Structure 1
Amino acid sequence: MMILRPYRLTAAIVSLTALCAGPLAQAQVLEEVVVTAQKREQSLQDVGVSVTAFSGEQIKDLGFTNSVDVIAQTPGLSYGTPTAEGNNASLTLRGVGLADFNDNNEGPVAVYVDEVYVSALSGVTFQLFDLERVEVLRGPQGTLYGRNTTGGLVHFVSVKPSEETQGYFEVTVAENSQFKVEGALGGSLGDAVQARLSYAHNEYDGYVDNRGPGTEDPNDADNNAARLQLAFQPTDAIDVLFNVHGSKNNANMGAWQHEATYSPDGGVTSLPLPADLNLYGSCPGCDAFGYRDDDDDPWAGAYDRDGDLDIENKGASLNFQWAGDSVTLTSITAFENFERLYEEDTDISPFKIVHNTYTADIDQFTQEIRLSGETDAMHWLAGFYYYDQETDGGFQIDASGIGFIIGDANYKQETSSWSLFGQIEYDLSDRWSVIGGLRYTDEERELDYLSQELNGLLPPDANVMFDYDEKISHDNVTGKLELDFRPTDSTLIYGSVSLGTKSAGFNTGLLDETGLFGLTVRGDVPYGEEELTSYEVGFKTDLFGGTSRLNASAFYYDYSDYQAFAFVNLNQVIFNTDATVTGMELEFVTNPIEGLDILLGASLLDAEAEDIPLNDASGITRDRTMTLAPDFSLNGVVRYEWGVSAGRVAAQVDFNYQDETFFDIQNHPISREDGYDVWNARLTYYSQDDTWSVSAFVNNLFEEEYRVYSFDVTNLFGFNQVAYGRPRWAGVSFRYNLN
């Protein structure tokens, strides 16, 4: 059951009462939101897909600075940080996600930036700057997007160059010595040529206090990103957009919190270790190495390693569009490179026990060609998509500090895939229309993997722990059938059946068949593709004379060969099983009086994975709640704006509530996070001509202590790795607009 703390609820009611104490205004028509969910511009209310969209202005007003920030105000979307803040993120939409952090994998919730697919998990987390909008599409998008969109997708769209000279500059100073600056400048360079240059920098000190021998306070940041766009119109029918971009994110290691744990039943269940129990013979309440973090501070710890987190991205794309009399040809060619180095104090103690290091270099090439057109009663689209990716990855576990292994794994994975797809939308009458689409995909993936023991625990000529070189290939057909009904001009009712898949792949990490570290079964290295069949109904409607908008959807997912993720000792394993997911979302937006905007969103979810084996050798299986899939979540924004003598003032409160959730498919008690709510507040003054504005903000207003992820290594080391969200964070921003 949802419980919001009484004092927070009272504060919200008082704030809302104060904001509403203004004169009633005539009904206003809400601003139309344009999205490209079906690869053409449409009003959000005309698309029979469950979509949450944020305009660039909303992104600014909500204080979103990072790609994962949109989660707070998107029903059904959640995430975890399996390898520390700013690192490989795990997005989960309607319970569909994958918590694996290996660089050779891709998530089932796809991320696109300016119509280019981002394959690398390390590329999912990035700075937000100079954006036109963000679109979140729920449910399988197996026709128009195809690749690994069983859960849906998140699309970030940049502001494009224009003929008018436009730009802005914004600077933020905040707690933890944060200094953030971003800006953009664009306009015409001559006849039929425009450009736009955008830049962002964000740095702050570590907000976790290090009491150990390490020299740095972790969870800091030093991030830079830039984007240059050049647009050409050589003829009236041709538009060319060139986009070159890059980013570099540097931080001290992500700081896990240490929780001593034990299993009372041989590994089936993991529980917190009582402070007075000397289970491992080291000290009361301590893990197997004799350490216990007992300061009760989620933003402090004792670390001996100042690990680096370095993520670099560089890429370019060419978007070519030719518009004929009745057809439009679009070609998008893109190249992306992602490099990652992550060093971790895995034992999260002041002693050198276990240190993990991850490296990856990922090259990606994509080519999409689309042909589209329309008649009085029909919209159609056909296309071809090619994808090629190469991942050079490595993983090292160094336990030499306790006289154990130095396991060194290196691999190369190559993936090539091509697809043909098409979709037709046909108007049966003024009120009824039908949409049908199909996509055929052919894919091949090869893994060349070698892990070795470097600490001399095996003979030099027998130090190979695992050697693997195999290929997998598969093809599939996905698609969609949808029926739309418009009983009024302001109401859409839709029902759809859609099919999505996620590619087959390989488990990596420290694979071992020597018995020194573990005992990997070679047949468990590959896992099969997953398939999701979605049945969905929904409606979108305007209410109360256009002052309000209500969108709702309900769905049932039949999941075949769901790619479940389990963390076994220090290795991660993906395996196939079945699952079912049911749920619904609701979004309500209203402008009841002049100046007052209220946005509310809610998600109900029942996500269950079947036949999950116990973490032992018994062979017993159980049904389990899927990870990062809370039964209920609620989000909202209340914003009131009023005029003053020399400008405008806006006061805003936003919140996000998340019900109980699990970080591990075993549903251990130590992997469960109870329900929590996070509140933010912002006050902004705008100049009379909107040339400049200044804002004061407080994030995590009540300094909620909440976990965003955990890794259970009870059976191996007797502790749980726990990652917490940020503490209270206050600051001010100044923005200048050049228009």
Structure 2
Amino acid sequence: MGEIIVTAQRREQSIQKVGIAITALSGDELSKLGVATASDIARQVPALEFDSGSGGGLNAFVTIRGVSQVDYSEHQEAPNAVYLDEVYVPTPSMVAFPVYDLARAEALRGPQGTLFGRNSTGGLLQFVTKDPTKDWDGYFNTEYSSFSTGRVEGAVGGPIADGVSFRLAGFGQIGNGWFKNNNPSGKDSFESNSFGIRGKLAFDIGSDWKAIVTGSLNKSPRHREGVYKSYPVYVDANGVTQFVPANVDIYGTGAGNDPFGYRDPSSDGTEGSFNDVGFLKKQTYYGTLKLQGSVGGATLTSISNYTKSDIDYLEDSDGTPNNIFNFGSGGYTRQFSQELRLSGDAGPLNWTVGGYFLDLKGSYYTDFILIGIFDAINTYQQRTRSYAAFGQIEYEILPSVKVTVGGRYTHDRKVFNSQVALGPQDPNYTGTSADQYWNFNAQSAAAWGSSNRQSRGDWTGKFQLSYEPDNNLLLYAGVSRGIRAGGFNATADGTLGLQPDGVTVDYSAVPFGNETVVAYEGGAKLRVFDGKANIRASAFYYDYTGYQAFNYNGLISTVSNNDAYYAGGELEIFANPIEGLNISLGAAYLDAKVKDIVTPGGVVDVRPVKAPKWSLNGLVTKTFDIGIYQLGLQYDFDYQSESKANLIVSPVTTLPSSWMHNARISFGREDQGWELYGFVRNFTDVNRKAFAYDNSWTGLALGSFAPPRTYGVGFRKDF
């Protein structure tokens, strides 16, 4: 089936020889799967979910083996790190980046804190874009699909001088919204409106040094987004939120209605009746310098990056035609990072050492508007400086037996400031000033104490044994320790810790502590039937201390520290039984509990958010030669068993099990590099509920869904 090369250990290796549970997808596979955003890869990676809490391009939450934090706050770093061209991507909105001209994508399951660091207690995704080459090449791809959506993508590259080459890639996409608005004169939401451009220059410096300079801009001009499917709900006598039955008048506003007299007549999760006030606009640009060369027989790699991201967002948070409440958020993030790695090998020994520096700062806001009653604007800033030193060795202690030992020490320093303004819609507004303030910032240092600062160092490490008697079998087992730095809560209305007098604030409620995991894992990678099939299996047990659990309760969304455990495993099978036929199948199982969660029924252990017990995926492709032409058929699917969107169990935050099916047909000439194709995504038009919020304090629950059935045609030309 050919070698799959990955960089999971910061050097190029065959996936067969790396003792990590990895799923890798090539650029060609990603293109044929219709992958247009980073989140699209989840369809073919076991134990991976990658979706948005808003149903659009606002942000992206990565869940690996059920480990997640679906906190939409821009300053919160997730437990599953995402890297783009070896550069850390820090915020939820930046993780929702478009992908184009990719060489490959890799999903690494399990803690990756030794060589990568930065909050990868659950796992890591890395996306690798294509570098310039010394030969001219490129491609052009155009698509037209449902909702009048058009997309154009392409790249070109080659030599421009002796020792100098370039690559220029870009895309653009525009289309109508797929979330239908049944409100008269209303407009549909979740439009497509984005474009990006990336340029790379590669320089040969002497005989054994190379530099790659990258500059990129991804932009989404202002367009309609930000709405949810709305459901009337009530809280029963046991404190559990329930859907309002269609034949019961809970609020005296009519059978099945919410407190404002409305019930959406449609059961379709991708349509409703709402005020089309929502919008999104964001842009991210970055520049990276990568230097690599030989130093005394070893390889030195330097990666310097500067990234800037800006975002503004507003949503109709009630999802109804009534003006009940809206939510806005936004701000900017600036990041500078520098990594130095030195690696080499000597006989049975392979080694890597390095250092890492990150300076991350942002200024953000949330605006919670309860129409006519309450307006709270929380303006907050966070500055993070992180220093790390790391090393890893891989040594062949016996023929076919290797030991891997690695460690990393990281010191994080975070400073957080927050200020809440209560606007004229506040019922306690006295009219004596433009606004009233609770000052959470440095001007009130006495009140803050040490609650707005964290300065901590901790270590991660790895010990693993692997056995490889031949090129067809790899067995591995080991233990690793991962960490995730603590942080600060910034609630939607900014009132966390507010005391009954309405003025005094308990600032100690704002910070939360570090997360630590000790992970035990073993696995096997096997080639059978003369290389026509590969089998990869893994099993794990995670023991968490201070697990950072996210919980959403009306206005108050918080991260707390709780102990937890995760156990499960994955199985992947890849087969090429006959010429032109490729099959891949994946399955994942998970058992997990977060301990001592306060619920209406008492303090109990609960299953984590976005952690289905079972998940399945599959892909089948068949190519037929018809004279000088090729006909291609492709089918892929994925399945998720029931999960939930909140730690407190409730029917309104349950995410039902669902199947998703996609298909593609193509016709072209491989020798001439062109292809015509058609596709249908979600061809059974399933209503997959991706996330949900319990806003029972308003008598409503909200749901976000995957897009409905989508048809399209396209043309690609490689040259």
Same fold (TM over 0.5): yes
Asked whether the 8 Å contact 2:246–2:255 carries over to 1, the reply is yes
Residue 311 of structure 1: how far off its partner (Å): 1.6
Alpha-carbon displacement from aligned partner over 1:496-516 (angstroms, at most 9, x marks no partner): 101111110000022222659
Q: Which residue of 2 aligns with 1:167?
A: 138
Q: Which residue of 1 aligns with 2:679?
A: 697
Asked whether the 8 Å contact 1:214–1:304 carries over to 2, the reply is no
Residues of 2 paired with 1:516 and 1:688: CA distance?
A: 73
Q: Which residue of 2 aligns with 1:16?
A: none
Residues of 1 paired with 2:18 and 2:103: CA distance?
A: 19
Q: Which residue of 2 aligns with 1:602?
A: 587
Asked whether 1:569 is paired with 2:550, we answer no
Residue 302 of structure 1: how far off its partner (Å): 1.4
1:292-691 superposed matches below 5 A: 292-399=263-370, 401=371, 403-455=372-424, 457-459=428-430, 460=432, 463-465=436-438, 467-469=440-442, 470-509=452-491, 510-512=493-495, 513=498, 521-615=506-600, 620-691=602-673
Asked whether the 8 Å contact 1:237–1:324 carries over to 2, the reply is no
RMSD: 1.6
Asked whether the 8 Å contact 2:251–2:259 carries over to 1, the reply is yes
Residue 337 of structure 1: how far off its partner (Å): 0.9
Q: Which residue of 1 aligns with 2:708?
A: 727
- From 162, 171, 174, give the equivalent of 1:200: 171
- Code of the residue aligned with 2:702 in structure 1: it is Q
Residue 202 of structure 1: how far off its partner (Å): 1.4
- Code of the residue aligned with 1:697 in structure 2: it is F
Residue 324 of structure 1: how far off its partner (Å): 3.4
Range that drifts further, 361-370 or 201-210: 201-210
Q: Which residue of 2 aligns with 1:21?
A: none
Kindly indicate whether structure 1 or structure 2 has the higher relative contact order, using CA contacts under 8 Å at least 6 residues apart: 1
Q: Which residue of 1 aligns with 2:446?
A: none
List gaps (5 residues or longer) in structure 2.
Answer: 443-451
Among all aligned residue pairs of Structure 1 and Structure 2, give the percentage whose two residues are the same amino acid: 34
Asked whether the 8 Å contact 2:40–2:50 carries over to 1, the reply is no
List gaps (5 residues or longer) in structure 1.
Answer: 1-29
- Code of the residue aligned with 1:405 in structure 2: it is F
Residues of 2 paired with 1:70 and 1:429: CA distance?
A: 38
Given the two structures, how large is their TM-score scaled by the length of structure 1? 0.93
Q: Which residue of 2 aligns with 1:12?
A: none
Residues of 2 paired with 1:599 and 1:621: CA distance?
A: 42
Q: Which residue of 1 aligns with 2:231?
A: 259
- Code of the residue aligned with 1:376 in structure 2: it is G
Asked whether the 8 Å contact 1:533–1:559 carries over to 2, the reply is yes
Residues of 2 paired with 1:380 and 1:133: CA distance?
A: 25
Residues of 1 paired with 2:417 and 2:306: CA distance?
A: 23
SS of 2:398's equivalent?
coil
- From 153, 158, 170, give the equivalent of 2:124: 153
Q: Which residue of 1 aligns with 2:32?
A: 61
Q: Which residue of 2 aligns with 1:718?
A: 699
Asked whether 1:179 is paired with 2:150, we answer yes
Q: Which residue of 2 aligns with 1:210?
A: 181
Residue 690 of structure 1: how far off its partner (Å): 4.1
Residues of 1 paired with 2:439 and 2:599: CA distance?
A: 25
Alpha-carbon displacement from aligned partner over 1:86-127 (angstroms, at most 9, x marks no partner): 111111101111010001101111110000000011011122
Residue 84 of structure 1: how far off its partner (Å): 3.3
Asked whether the 8 Å contact 1:326–1:373 carries over to 2, the reply is yes
Residues of 2 paired with 1:331 and 1:688: CA distance?
A: 39
Residues of 2 paired with 1:104 and 1:518: CA distance?
A: 25
Residues of 1 paired with 2:587 and 2:125: CA distance?
A: 18
SS of 2:611's equivalent?
coil
The number of residue pairs the alignment matches comes to 702
- Code of the residue aligned with 1:728 in structure 2: it is R
Q: Which residue of 2 aligns with 1:26?
A: none
Residues of 2 paired with 1:517 and 1:75: CA distance?
A: 48
Residues of 2 paired with 1:200 and 1:533: CA distance?
A: 42
- Code of the residue aligned with 2:399 in structure 1: it is D
Change (3 A) 1:536 1:520: farther
Change (3 A) 1:728 1:289: same
Q: Which residue of 2 aligns with 1:115?
A: 86
Given the two structures, how large is their TM-score scaled by the length of structure 2? 0.95
